[in-house]
Chain A
Amino acid sequence: MLQYIVRRILLMIPTLLLISFVTFVVVQLPPGDYLNAYVAALTQEGGETVDREQIEMLRQRYGLDEPFLVQYWYWISNIVFEGDFGRSFQWNQPVSDLLWGRIGLTFAVSLASLLFVYVVAFPIGVYSAIRKYSLGDYVFTFLGFIGLAVPNFLLALVLMVVSLQVFGVTPGGLFSPDYASAPWSWGKFVDFLAHLWVPMIIIGTASTAALIRVMRANLLDELNKPYVETARAKGQSEAVLIMRYPVRIALNPFVSRLGWELPALVSGAAITSIVLNLPTAGPVLLTALQSQDMYLAGSFILILSTLTVIGTLVSDILLAWLDPRIRYS
Chain B
Amino acid sequence: MTWHYLSRTVSAVAITAALAGMAHADYSQAPGLEEQVSSGSLPALEERLPATPLVVEAVDAVGTYGGTWRTAMSSRTDSWFYRTVNYDHLVMWNQDWTGVVPNVAESVEANEDATVFTFTLREGHKWSDGTPFTSADAVFAMEMLKDTNLGIPARAWRNAAGWADVEAIDDRTFTVTFGEPYGTFLQDVSRISSSEMGGGMVKLPKHFMSQFHPDYNENAEQLASDAGFDSWADHFNAKWAVSQSPEKPTLSAWIVTEPFGEGSQVRAVRNPYYFKVDTDGNQLPYIDEVLFNVYQDNEVMLLQALAGEMDFHGRHINTVVNRPVLADVAEDIDMEFLRLIASSANEGAIYFNQTFDGPMAEALSNRDFRAGLSHALDREAICDTVFVGAAVPRQIAVSPEFDPLYNEQLANQHLEFDVDLANELLDKAGFSERDGDGFRLLSNGDRVRLIVQVRTDKQDMIDIADLASRYWKEVGVDVQLDVVERSLSDQRRDANQHMLLMEDHSSGLADAILAASPYLPVDDDQGFGIPWFYWYAGMDNAQEPPEQVKRQIALYREMGTRTEPAEQFEVFAEILQITADNFFALGTCSEEVQYSFKLDHMRNVPSVQHGSFAFAPPGPYHPAHFWIDESMR
Contacts and interface: CB of A to CB of B under 8 A. Distances in A.
Nearest to A172: B300
A28 B196 CA distance: 26
B153 A277 contact: no
B148 interface: yes
Contacts of B79: 45-47
Interface residues of B, number: 66
Interface in A64-115: 84, 86-87, 90-94, 96-98
Contacts of A157: 299
A321 to B, nearest CB: 41
Given A41-B75, A45-B77, A93-B238, A32 B299 contact: no
Interface in B165-220: 191-196
A170 B151 contact: no
A45 B197 CA distance: 12
Contact of B515 (A42, A47, A177): A47
B296 A277 contact: yes
Interface string A154-177: 000100110010001110110101
A230 interface: no
Contact of A275 (B265, B267, B299): B299
Interface string B227-261: 01111011001100100100000000000001011
Contacts of A93: 238, 244, 261
A287 B485 CA distance: 13
A99 B241 CA distance: 20
Nearest to A292: B487
Interface stretch (B104-112, B303-311, B586-594): B303-311
B525 interface: yes
Taking each of B195, B539, B613, which has the highest tally of chain A beta carbons within 10 Å of its own beta carbon? B195
B264 interface: yes
A193 B345 CA distance: 50
Nearest to B517: A49
B60 interface: no
A115 B260 CA distance: 33
Contacts of B77: 41-42, 45
B265 A57 contact: no
B303 A172 contact: yes
Interface string A31-53: 11000110111111111111110
Contact of B195 (A42, A283, A286): A42
Contacts of B101: none
B154 to A, nearest CB: 8
B23 interface: no
B263 interface: yes
Interface in B131-174: 148-149, 151, 153, 155, 158
A37 B490 CA distance: 9
B537 to A, nearest CB: 8
Contacts of A30: 485, 488
B499 interface: no
Given A51-B153, A57-B151, A181-B267, A32 B488 contact: yes
A279 B264 contact: yes
A44 B486 contact: yes
Interface in A139-162: 157, 160-161
Contacts, number: 163
Contact of B487 (A32, A58, A91, A274): A32
Contacts of A292: 487
A224 interface: no
B78 A45 contact: yes
Interface in B355-398: none
A48 B490 contact: no
B264 A91 contact: no
Contact of B228 (A54, A94, A172): A94
A42 B613 CA distance: 12
Contacts of B490: 36, 39-40, 43
B605 interface: no
B358 to A, nearest CB: 20
B487 A48 contact: no
B303 A50 contact: no
A290 B488 CA distance: 11
B291 interface: yes
Contacts of A286: 296
Given A47-B613, A164-B306, A37 B195 contact: no
Contacts of B539: 52
Given A92-B241, A175-B264, A31 B488 contact: yes
7 contacts: A30-B488, A46-B79, A54-B153, A92-B238, A161-B303, A175-B264, A279-B263
Interface of A: 30-32, 36-37, 39-52, 54-55, 57-58, 61, 84, 86-87, 90-94, 96-98, 157, 160-161, 164, 168-170, 172-173, 175, 177, 180-181, 274-277, 279, 283, 286-287, 290-292
Interface of B: 75-79, 148-149, 151, 153, 155, 158, 191-196, 228-231, 233-234, 237-238, 241, 244, 258, 260-265, 267, 291, 293, 295-297, 299-300, 303-304, 306-307, 309, 457, 485-491, 506, 515, 517, 523-525, 537, 539, 612-614
